[in-house]
Structure 1
Amino acid sequence: MGVKIGVLALQGDVAEHITAFREALADRPGSTVVPVRHAADLGDLDALAIPGGESSTISRLIGKNGLYEPLAGFEGGIFATCAGMVLVADRVDDPRVRTLGLIPMHVARNAFGRQVDSRETSLNIAGLADPFRAVFIRAPVATEIGSGVEVLARIPEGIVVVRHGRHMAFAFHPELGGDLRLHRTFLEGLGI
C-alpha cells in the first residue's frame, strides 16, 4: 500500500525534503511526496514535513494561507526540521513566531548565533547504531520539554532531537547529505 507524504511548501528547503522522502519511500510502490500550500492539500496525507527556512517568515505565510488550524489539527505524523522545530513547539523566544503547539517544549531560535556559527557535527541519536552527520544552520534548540516528550539527542547548547507521539523534531537538517535513517525511523514510528 502506498504512503502519501506532504512537504509544507511555503518557504525553505522544500525540494530537499521532497527528494529525501521520495528516496526513503522508493521501496514502497504507489507512494508519493507532494508539496502542501493550502489546507485542502492536507486531506489524505499520512505525514507532513515542515522544513527549515526562516521561522518568522514561515509563520507569517502559514497565517496568510489560513493553515494554522488545519496544521494544528493534522492527525498524521510531522517531521519538523530546524525552523519546523520552532513552529511545532508550544513556546518560542520570539514574539514574531506563532507556534502550532504540537510538541510541549520551549525552543530558542538561532541558538548557535549567526550564519557563520553554523556547523556540522557527528551526533549520537538514540535508536541509531552509528552517529549521524548533523548539519546545523542557524539552528534552534529546545531548552525545556514537557510531559511525554522523548529526548533523542542533545548537545551542550540544548536538546536537538525529540519525539512526541507521531511527531519528530530536529534542530538540524537530516534531509541534507543522503543519510535517510531518520526519515525511515520516522516512517517506522508511524507504522508505515
Structure 2
Amino acid sequence: MKIGVLAVQGAFIEHRKMLESLGAECVEIRQKADLEGIQGIVLPGGESTVQGKLLHKLDMFGKIQTCIREGLPVLATCAGMILLAQTLYNDPVTHLATLPVTVRRNAYGRQLGSFITDQPVKGIGEFPMVFIRAPYIESVDDSDVEVLATVDDHIVAVRYGNQLGLSFHPEMTEDTRIHEFFLKMIQ
C-alpha cells in the first residue's frame, strides 16, 4: 500500500514514520508527479495558509482536490483539516473545500493554548489527543458527516466517506490506532 504524505510544509515526517512502522510504503509529496500511484494521502499539520499557497504554486491543488473528490482516502490533521473544510468560520478563504464542515481556525488559542487530553474516539476508544494551535469543527454541514470525537462539546474528529479530519495530532503520540484506522479505510 502506497501512501502519499504532503511534504511541502509542516509536521509530515512523523506521519511518514508512523505509517511506515505499520508496513505502509510512503512517498513524500513535493511535486505533482509524486501523486502518481498513491492509494491514500495525508495532509499534515503546519500552517494551512502556506500549504494552500504552495499547493497552487506547485500545481498540485487541482489534482489533489480531484483525487479526493473521486474517493482517494485522506487523513487530515490540524492544518490539513483546515485545507479540507468547505467553510472557515473566521476566514473568508477556503482551500480544497471537500469536507462539508465549518472549521474555526486557532480555536484553542495560540501556541500557549496547546494541550493534551485523553478522550474517546468512536470505533477506537480512549485516545491521547495532542492539540497545537488547534482548530475545531464549528458545525457539520451534511448529515453524512460522522462525528468521531468531541472535546468540551467541540467537534474534533469527523469522517465523511473517504475523508478523515482531525483537529489534533495523532502522529505526535506513540498510539498508532488512528493511522491503523486510516489504513483500513484504504483496504
TM-score normalised per structure 2: 0.93
Question: Quick one: which amino acid aligns to residue 71 of structure 1?
Answer: I
2:85–2:94 contact (8 Å) kept in structure 1: no
**How far is 1:146 from its partner?**
2.1
Q: How does 1:1-192 map to 2 (within 5 A)?
A: 3-25=1-23, 31-74=24-67, 75-92=71-88, 93-95=90-92, 97-129=93-125, 131-147=126-142, 148-156=144-152, 158-191=154-187
Deviations 1:13-71 (A, max 9, x none): 1111110110122xxxxx41010012221120000000000111111111111121111
- Provide the rounded CA distance (Å) in 1 between the counterparts of 2:86 and 2:123: 25
Aligned residues: 182
- Provide the rounded CA distance (Å) in 1 between the counterparts of 2:158 and 2:109: 21
Deviations 1:81-100 (A, max 9, x none): 000010011111323x4320
- Provide the rounded CA distance (Å) in 1 between the counterparts of 2:65 and 2:161: 14
2:5–2:29 contact (8 Å) kept in structure 1: yes
Question: Quick one: which amino acid aligns to residue 94 of structure 1?
Answer: D
Give SS of 2:80's match: helix
- Provide the rounded CA distance (Å) in 2 between the counterparts of 1:157 and 1:10: 33
Which segments of 5 or more consecutive residues in structure 2 lack a partner in the other structure?
none
2:86–2:99 contact (8 Å) kept in structure 1: yes
Question: Quick one: which amino acid aligns to residue 28 of structure 2?
Answer: P
TM-score normalised per structure 1: 0.91
Q: After the TM superposition, which parts of structure 1 deviate over 3 Å for at least 4 consecutive aligned residues?
A: none
